[in-house]
Structure 1
Amino acid sequence: MSTSESVRTPAGDAPLTLGEPPARTLGTRDQLGLFGNLGISLLLPVAAVFVVLPDRPLAVTLGAVAVGAVIGAVLLGAGAAAGAREGVPAMVLLRGLLGRRASYLPTAFNLVQCVGWATFEIVIIAEAASRVLDAPRWPFVLAAGVLATAMALRPLGVVRVLSRYAVWAALAAIVYLYVQVLREPLPPLTGGAGTSFWTAADIVIALPISWFPLAADYTRHARSARGAFTGATVGYGIATFVMFTLGVLALAAYGSAGLDVVDALLAVPLGALAVLVLITVELDEAFANLYSTAVSAQNVVARWDRRVLALVVGTVATLLALTFDIAAYEPFLFLIGAVFVPLVGVFVVAYWLLPQGRWDTSDTAPGRLLLLLPWLAGFVAYQLTLPTYFSGVGAGWTTWWSARQGDLGIDPANGWSASLVSLAVAGVLTALLVLPGARRSRRPA
């Protein structure tokens, strides 16, 4: 699977192996278009039921969405900017945090996440398309899997198309759906799964955070760190707020939740056409996850051709999508937050405290195993604040963490933000570990 001397990276596209330098071709507009498109996803209106606070004013729910979008997008932007400065993919960027071999741990988590998200995206595309066209789902699963995999073979070319053309079609469809939804009466929300302002915000934070371990895969091609930060923060943040809000408004207007939101949007005049546009645009999320799975794997197998890896991952995600249960969506979101939110806290604090030139992403990057401790502590803090809820086979996980809450006198209905608690714990512990060494390194010899 390694790249031979006769194989060359297409001009202006992403390198085929980790040993090749990235092309610096993406400007701020490209970044805005890319991350804006990634945030325009039908998964967000479908997940909106988890952020709705029943029997509370609509403004409170929208406030939770706004706060979650801002927090998540700023953290995403920090990772995007670091990727642009260092010019390496996201998992390679973590070598500077943990060392080369220790970076394999977050790489393994990210591989699982990326395959999971790619599967979710293919499911949503196929489910929505089958409802629009009143046809069986499986042909759309196969079509979405094939198209997304093909897009992953020429990623930078796809990014340019998304930023220059697809984003405008998506915006037109969204504006039209907003107009139609807002024409309906918006009675008080009585249905929804949100339990507090901050638990609702946690769901929203989980979406941008889920892209943090992927952002540098694209922003390593950015011309500037500032453009990368602006593109990721503004593009993804606004799209997250807009799409979650669309789902909330649809729930209020039509009383629909989950995938029924898609049916509600189909019922508006020309709704099928607008949803078909969004289904087409949805392919970019699946493509991005497939491409990033391949690039993440190169942190371990640097000489393997990313195109071969993308073909393998695309096949796996497509097969999973044929049997996937959408009911697992909510706990998957919370688990992503529990794993990656504290890692983001550790990374952001360590990266900006260490002096420039101390972030080693080479094959000989030394291990910093002590920084696994704040990551683990942040994960524990997240679970103690809000245990990831599983039913059926995974119910024992929830039961065990709930028992630990009882041992420590933590109210299960505390209403705290698990994300902010986790970030605080991980960030403070990281600062305590990193600051002494950072101060010594800044002293003149």
Structure 2
Amino acid sequence: MSTSDTATTSAPSADAPLTLTAPPPATLGLRDSLGLWGNLGVSLLLPVAAVFVVLPGRSLAATLGAIVVGAVIGAVLLGLGAAAGARERVPGMVLLRGLLGRRTSYLPTALNLVQCVGWATFEIVIIAEAASRVLDAPRWPFVLAAGVLATAMALRPLGVVRLLARYAVWAALLAIGYLYVQVLAEPLPPLEGGGATSFWTAADIVIALPVSWFPLVADYTRHVRSGRAAFVGASVGYGLATVAMFTLGVLALAAYGSTGLDVIDALLLVPLGAVAVLVLVSVELDEAFANVYSTAVSAQNVVARLDRRVLAVVVGVLATGLALSFDIAAYEPFLFLIGAVFVPLIGVFVVAYWSTPRGGWDTSDTAPARLLFLLPWAAGFLAYQLTLPTFFAGPGAGWTAWWGARQADLGIDPGNGWSASLVSLGVAAVLTVPLVLPALVRRRRAVRP
């Protein structure tokens, strides 16, 4: 059973509980879920990262195919986590109690806290950088404004979700549609440059985006009325937005021959492009808000009675301060490393949770430790790094070099072209099956006449 009772009916104005001990209202429907995850998928990081999914020397259709395949795989995984959150009515890190036990779940919680603060900081920097370039103004006022707004949004999260679903999503669609019309009006020559070495390395970049939200998804879908609405809202909303934003970036690269952050400059060149980009910058606030709020909710897995509003303010101040003073670009590889840690955990969770009968997932304060499930998680992480070591430059280069040496020891080609995410997920999932099989066999025998 969960740590809080399921709330099946609640006033539409009800917001998220202040502590983990209070029951979460289930006030969000399919439209709210679609709007939230569609908005979260609309991020300027995606068109900027599009250069890494381009397959150089191959047709545009091949690159677009990798985007669609990666988005479908990542979105389905995200949807499975979303549905679990709606069924159990608990946040993401509390949901992991059923897999690892209460105290053992503190390990992924600690990693998620670092990840969420880092991504909140990164999002504030992206918002401020884009706004300062559009308006040709200093960056720091936009850092402060973004930090304050994201923190304020985290104080009333469900009200923000409903606003996003009803209004922000339409503004984002109009801006994206306008940019598509302008970009498609340009000639689209073949793409000669790009960062993808194979179809699956391109798909891997796309998979990483929806998968990165998996540890956070239940923080929101615990308030969705049904598992089906949560699954459809998260998978369809985020999946379609991912395809749209990556494709926009690829088309801009083809139309304007831009690379990296220059994609933003290219979009500013189109008529009224500055207005459209400013709309997307405003929509980007929801990513910062989500990371601030989820940091607070994740911390409640350890301190259940602490007011999430206090935690959100602390996190917002911290992320804003880091955005003002810290070179977050240097921290980015570490964030991807933490992301690689969560990829195999998803494989373990999906197999374990969806093979457990309804009502049998223990997320209570007394959930016992299940240390054996750490083994497939660790094996999946090893598989990820052996497939594609997380790249560090400078002081962290030793990490990349060490894993490169292990690839050489095992005869693994560094340019193997495999999807590290799928290899990691597959290894973790397969090794989890023997751990859940005895329970499945006992359950099958119990239901026989």
Could you tell me which of 73, 83, 86 is aligned with 1:84? 86
> What amino acid sits opposite 1:191 in the alignment?
G
Q: Distance in 2 between matches of 1:306 and 1:10?
A: 20
**Which residue is equivalent to 1:319?**
321
Could you tell me which of 232, 235, 250 is aligned with 1:233? 235
**Matched-pair contact (CA < 8 Å) for 2:121–2:328:** no
1:181-219: CA deviation from partner (whole Å, max 9, x where unpaired)? 111111111222112111111111111011000010000
Question: Residue 328 of structure 1: CA displacement?
Answer: 4.3
Could you tell me which of 397, 400, 403 is aligned with 1:398? 400
**Matched-pair contact (CA < 8 Å) for 1:206–1:334:** no
Could you tell me which of 8, 17, 20 is aligned with 2:19? 17
SS at match of 1:444: helix
1:209-228 equivalences under 5 Å are: 209-228=211-230
SS at match of 2:193: coil
> What amino acid sits opposite 2:212 in the alignment?
S
**Which residue is equivalent to 1:281?**
283
**Matched-pair contact (CA < 8 Å) for 2:12–2:27:** no
SS at match of 2:333: helix
Question: Residue 119 of structure 1: CA displacement?
Answer: 1.2
Question: Residue 336 of structure 1: CA displacement?
Answer: 4.2
**Matched-pair contact (CA < 8 Å) for 1:355–1:442:** no
Question: Residue 323 of structure 1: CA displacement?
Answer: 3.6
**Which residue is equivalent to 1:109?**
111
Question: Residue 412 of structure 1: CA displacement?
Answer: 0.6
1:146-190: CA deviation from partner (whole Å, max 9, x where unpaired)? 000000000000000000000000000000000001111111112
Change in 2 beyond 3 A, CA 1:332/1:57 = farther
**Which residue is equivalent to 2:376?**
374
**Matched-pair contact (CA < 8 Å) for 1:49–1:192:** yes
Could you tell me which of 423, 430, 433 is aligned with 1:431? 433
TM-score, normalisation: structure 2:
0.95
TM-score, normalisation: structure 1:
0.96
Change in 2 beyond 3 A, CA 1:44/1:324 = farther
> What amino acid sits opposite 1:398 in the alignment?
T
1:16-60: CA deviation from partner (whole Å, max 9, x where unpaired)? 000000001000000000000000011111111111122221111
List 4+ stretches of structure 1 deviating above 6 A: none
RMSD value, Cα? 1.5
Q: Confirm or deny that 1:69 pairs with 2:71.
A: yes
> What amino acid sits opposite 2:315 in the alignment?
V
Change in 2 beyond 3 A, CA 1:155/1:422 = same
**Which residue is equivalent to 1:145?**
147
Change in 2 beyond 3 A, CA 1:17/1:229 = same
- Select between 369-378 and 196-205 the one with higher mean Cα deviation: 196-205
Q: Confirm or deny that 1:203 pairs with 2:205.
A: yes
Q: Distance in 1 between matches of 2:332 and 2:321?
A: 21
SS at match of 2:367: coil
**Matched-pair contact (CA < 8 Å) for 1:119–1:317:** yes
> What amino acid sits opposite 1:365 in the alignment?
A
Change in 2 beyond 3 A, CA 1:160/1:10 = closer
SS at match of 1:365: coil
Q: Distance in 1 between matches of 2:359 and 2:441?
A: 14
Q: Confirm or deny that 1:331 pairs with 2:333.
A: yes
Q: Distance in 1 between matches of 2:438 and 2:255?
A: 55
SS at match of 2:357: coil
**Which residue is equivalent to 1:255?**
257
Q: Give the aligned length.
A: 437
**Which residue is equivalent to 1:4?**
none
SS at match of 2:217: helix
1:174-185 equivalences under 5 Å are: 174-185=176-187
**Which residue is equivalent to 1:5?**
none
**Matched-pair contact (CA < 8 Å) for 2:79–2:231:** yes
- Select between 186-195 and 34-43 the one with higher mean Cα deviation: 186-195
Q: Distance in 1 between matches of 2:74 and 2:343?
A: 9
Q: Distance in 1 between matches of 2:279 and 2:330?
A: 26
Q: Distance in 2 between matches of 1:336 and 1:48?
A: 21
Q: Distance in 1 between matches of 2:114 and 2:336?
A: 15
1:367-414: CA deviation from partner (whole Å, max 9, x where unpaired)? 110000000000000000011111101100000000000110111111
Question: Residue 357 of structure 1: CA displacement?
Answer: 2.3
Q: Distance in 2 between matches of 1:438 and 1:300?
A: 31
**Matched-pair contact (CA < 8 Å) for 1:203–1:333:** no
SS at match of 2:213: helix
**Which residue is equivalent to 2:169?**
167
> What amino acid sits opposite 1:168 in the alignment?
W
Change in 2 beyond 3 A, CA 1:396/1:105 = same
Q: Distance in 1 between matches of 2:183 and 2:104?
A: 49
Could you tell me which of 364, 367, 383 is aligned with 2:366? 364
**Matched-pair contact (CA < 8 Å) for 1:189–1:252:** yes
Q: Identity over the aligned pairs, expressed in percent?
A: 82
Question: Residue 134 of structure 1: CA displacement?
Answer: 0.2
Q: Distance in 2 between matches of 1:197 and 1:134?
A: 38
SS at match of 1:322: helix
Q: Confirm or deny that 1:38 pairs with 2:52.
A: no
Q: Confirm or deny that 1:389 pairs with 2:382.
A: no
Structure 1 runs not aligned, ≥5 long: 1-8
- Select between 320-329 and 183-192 the one with higher mean Cα deviation: 320-329
**Matched-pair contact (CA < 8 Å) for 1:130–1:137:** yes
